[in-house]
Amino acid sequence: MKLFTDEILIKGLKRGEKIYIDRIYHSYSNRIFGFALSLLKDREESYDVVHDVFLSLWEKRHTLKDDTKLEAILFTMTRNKVLSFFRKKDSERKYINELLTKDDNRKNDSTEQDVSFIFLTEKIEYFLSKMPQKRRDVFMLSRNKGMSNKEIAQKLSISEKTVEDHITRALAFFRKNINSIKNILL
């Protein structure tokens, strides 16, 4: 025979008397744990669920009706906590999978970009090697070193007009040959 009825326990709980939550915990915690463990198959997670159930019961004590059946509400709360746990784990798993998929895609994209960059660099070097030496020097100083036409003219002891001519012809040469690069990259 129970010493305390559910009604007495709930009324004491609603008054905020901690002795009643202790009595409820003592009466139901092992069964709640066993129920959670049967669903979760993990002792630590089951202990967490038991803790959460009794914490929720304490926090919601003012909303309980005097005729509430403690066993029914505790097992319902446990089931809901377990379902919430599974939803959270499923959501975390989906999020992690999405991150890993994105990371794999980024790696693939990055690898493709790296290969394309290497290929493009080799092609540019190849096309540069087909230019006359002076045009190549002017173009490299302009594009790689970022020098102005005036600076290049002074450095190579040529006129600015000649520098412009070399750059114009180098760019025209690249434009003419760019189609072979585009076809390979696409």
**What's the pLDDT tens digit per position in 60-112?**
999 999 888 999 999 999 999 999 888 888 776 776 667 666 655 555 556 66
127-167 pLDDT per residue, tens: 778 888 888 888 888 887 888 889 999 988 898 899 888 88
Q: Answer yes or no: do 91 and 10 share one domain.
A: yes
Residue 76's φ and ψ, nearest 5 degrees, are -65, -45
Q: In the prediction, which pLDDT does 174 show?
A: 76
Q: Which residue among 95, 114, 139 closes a domain?
A: 95
User: What tokens does 115 get?
Assistant: 């290969």
Q: Answer yes or no: do 134 and 88 share one domain.
A: no
Cα–chain center distance at 180: 39
42-62 pLDDT per residue, tens: 899 899 999 999 999 999 999
CA–CA distance, 76 with 138 (Å, rounded to integer): 80
Q: In the prediction, which pLDDT does 95 show?
A: 63
Angle between helix axes 149-156 and 133-143 (nearest 10 degrees) is 140
Residue 51 lies in a domain: yes
Residue 123 lies in a domain: no
CA–CA distance, 89 with 52 (Å, rounded to integer): 16
Residue 139's φ and ψ, nearest 5 degrees, are -60, -45
Cα–chain center distance at 186: 30
Domain span holding position 153? 130-185
User: What tokens does 16 get?
Assistant: 């905020």
Residue 154 lies in a domain: yes
Q: Note whether 46 and 37 are within 8 A (CB).
A: yes
Q: Which residue among 95, 121, 147 closes a domain?
A: 95
Provide the domain count of the chain: 2
Residue 50 lies in a domain: yes
13-52 pLDDT per residue, tens: 999 999 999 999 999 999 999 999 999 998 998 999 999 9
Nearest CA among 2, 18, 22, 8 for reference residue 67: 8
User: Of 178 and 147, which is predicted with more confidence?
Assistant: 147
Residue 66 lies in a domain: yes
Residue 100 lies in a domain: no
Residue 106 lies in a domain: no
CATH code of residue 24: 1.10.1740.10
CATH code of residue 170: 1.10.10.10
